[in-house]
Chain A
Amino acid sequence: DSGVTQTPKHLITATGQRVTLRCSPRSGDLSVYWYQQSLDQGLQFLIQYYNGEERAKGNILERFSAQQFPDLHSELNLSSLELGDSALYFCASSVDGALGTDTQYFGPGTRLTVL
């Protein structure tokens, strides 16, 4: 158990809909990262927050947005969903947010299926 929690575990929805994925980081970690893993692909970095502020942006679509709240939990909002958005979405957290060298601890992921 990494200490990072993600809800829900599974989500099935229809095209055009909007969903919210939630992540609670490890106690004491200030940084949260969101990743997308499509079938048989590596992890694609979406976005990072550090202590409530956006720190870095990766391959995140304009239909997607995220935020980190004062209690440090984070939400990833996916809107106007398309079939291609079906994937595993991982949240990770780290102590201070140095992107490359800071060890990231991953949650179990949310599997999103868009029908």
Chain B
Amino acid sequence: DQQVKQNSPSLSVQEGRISILNCDYTNSMFDYFLWYKKYPAEGPTFLISISSIKDKNEDGRFTVFLNKSAKHLSLHIVPSQPGDSAVYFCAASHSNYQLIWGAGTKLIIKP
């Protein structure tokens, strides 16, 4: 039972454009969502998070949007840079319980 789904295994975006990574979840009890970024041969690194009481959180070039009614969140990267090429994982938790992770989306930024 995949509670957190990232349906796009990969995404290719032109440098300077907006990258939009999507994540869907099935458990309406989730109240905290995170995005992690992973480079090859490294562990994931925390990128940005959002609580279910908000619908948007912004940090520099990164913005996460949460649509609770649709059980959907997205990560926007503007403008996209070559260093953003990585695998992005969406994760969710409820009541401070363990994180449930999506399978990841590989983002490729084309020069």
Contacts and interface: CB of A to CB of B under 8 A. Distances in A.
Nearest to B94: A100
Contacts of B6: 42
Interface string B78-103: 00000000000101011111111111
A5 to B, nearest CB: 11
Given A40-B103, A42-B4, A58-B98, A100 B32 contact: yes
B96 A108 contact: no
B41 interface: yes
Interface of B: 4, 6, 9, 31-32, 41-46, 49, 89, 91, 93-104
Contacts of A103: 46
A68 to B, nearest CB: 17
Interface residues of A, number: 24
A42 B104 contact: yes
Contacts of A90: 43-44
Interface of A: 2, 4, 40-45, 48, 56, 58, 90, 92, 98-101, 103-109
A2 B43 contact: yes
A42 B103 contact: yes
Nearest to A41: B103
B45 A106 contact: yes
